[in-house]
Structure 1
Amino acid sequence: MPSYDALREILDPAATVLLTVECQQGVVGPDAALPELARAARESGALARVARLVAAARKSGVQVIHAVAERRPDGRGAGRNARLFRAAERLPVRQLAGSAAVRVAPPIEVAEEDLVVRRLHGLSPVQGTEVDALLRNLGCRTLIVSGVSANVAIPNAVFDAVNLGYTAVVPTDAIAGVPADYTAAMIRHTLALVATLATTDEVLDCLGRPRAS
Structure 2
Amino acid sequence: MINILKTRDATYQPGATALLLVDMQRIWLEPGLDPDHPERGADHYFYRRTASVTIPNHERLLAAARAKGIEIIHTIIQSLTEDGRDRSLDHKLTPIHVAPSRAEGLPPKNLAPIGDEILIPKTSSGVFNSTNIDYVLKNLGIRYLIIAGIMTDQCVDMAVRDAADRGYYVTCVTDACAASSQERHDGALKAFGGYCWTADTDIVVGRLSQMSRAA
Fold shared by both chains (TM-score > 0.5): yes
1:102 aligns with 2:105: yes
- 2:71 and 2:129 mapped to 1: Cα distance? 19
Question: Which residue of 1 is the match for residue 53 of structure 2?
Answer: 45
* 3-state DSSP of counterpart to 1:173: strand
- 2:60 and 2:115 mapped to 1: Cα distance? 17
Say which of 139, 146, 149 aligns to 1:147.
149
- 2:111 and 2:52 mapped to 1: Cα distance? 15
* 3-state DSSP of counterpart to 1:104: coil
Question: Which residue of 2 is the match for residue 22 of structure 1?
Answer: 23
Do the aligned partners of 2:14 and 2:211 also contact (CA within 8 Å) in 1?
A: no
Question: Which residue of 2 is the match for residue 74 of structure 1?
Answer: 83
Q: After superposition, what is the alpha-carbon deviation per residue over 1:128-154, rounded to whole angstroms, capped at 9, x for unaligned?
A: 312111100111001111110012100
Percent identical across equivalent pairs? 24
Question: Which residue of 2 is the match for residue 63 of structure 1?
Answer: 71
May I ask how many residue pairs the two structures share in their alignment? 199
The 1:41–1:65 alpha-carbon spacing in structure 2 relative to 1, beyond 3 Å, is farther
Equivalent position amino acid for 2:22 in 1: V
Q: CA deviation at 1:100?
A: 1.0
Q: After superposition, what is the alpha-carbon deviation per residue over 1:64-92, rounded to whole angstroms, capped at 9, x for unaligned?
A: 000011123312121334xx653435xxx
Q: CA deviation at 1:60?
A: 0.8
Equivalent position amino acid for 1:97 in 2: P
- 1:192 and 1:116 mapped to 2: Cα distance? 26
The 1:96–1:40 alpha-carbon spacing in structure 2 relative to 1, beyond 3 Å, is farther
The 1:210–1:117 alpha-carbon spacing in structure 2 relative to 1, beyond 3 Å, is closer
The 1:136–1:14 alpha-carbon spacing in structure 2 relative to 1, beyond 3 Å, is same
Do the aligned partners of 1:37 and 1:176 also contact (CA within 8 Å) in 2?
A: no
Q: CA deviation at 1:160?
A: 0.8
**TM-score (ref. length: structure 1):** 0.84
Higher deviation after alignment, 134-143 or 105-114: 105-114
Do the aligned partners of 1:19 and 1:143 also contact (CA within 8 Å) in 2?
A: yes
Q: CA deviation at 1:41?
A: 4.6
- 1:157 and 1:204 mapped to 2: Cα distance? 20
Question: Which residue of 2 is the match for residue 182 of structure 1?
Answer: 184
Question: Which residue of 2 is the match for residue 111 of structure 1?
Answer: 114
Do the aligned partners of 2:150 and 2:178 also contact (CA within 8 Å) in 1?
A: yes
Q: Structure 1: where are the runs of 5+ without partners? A: none
Question: Which residue of 2 is the match for residue 88 of structure 1?
Answer: 95
The 1:103–1:75 alpha-carbon spacing in structure 2 relative to 1, beyond 3 Å, is same
* 3-state DSSP of counterpart to 2:107: coil
Equivalent position amino acid for 1:32 in 2: L
Question: Which residue of 2 is the match for residue 133 of structure 1?
Answer: 135
Q: RMSD over aligned Cα, in angstroms?
A: 2.4
Question: Which residue of 1 is the match for residue 3 of structure 2?
Answer: none
* 3-state DSSP of counterpart to 2:74: strand
Do the aligned partners of 1:143 and 1:166 also contact (CA within 8 Å) in 2?
A: yes
Equivalent position amino acid for 1:205 in 2: G
The 1:147–1:176 alpha-carbon spacing in structure 2 relative to 1, beyond 3 Å, is same
Do the aligned partners of 1:48 and 1:107 also contact (CA within 8 Å) in 2?
A: no
Question: Which residue of 2 is the match for residue 169 of structure 1?
Answer: 171
- 2:112 and 2:78 mapped to 1: Cα distance? 19
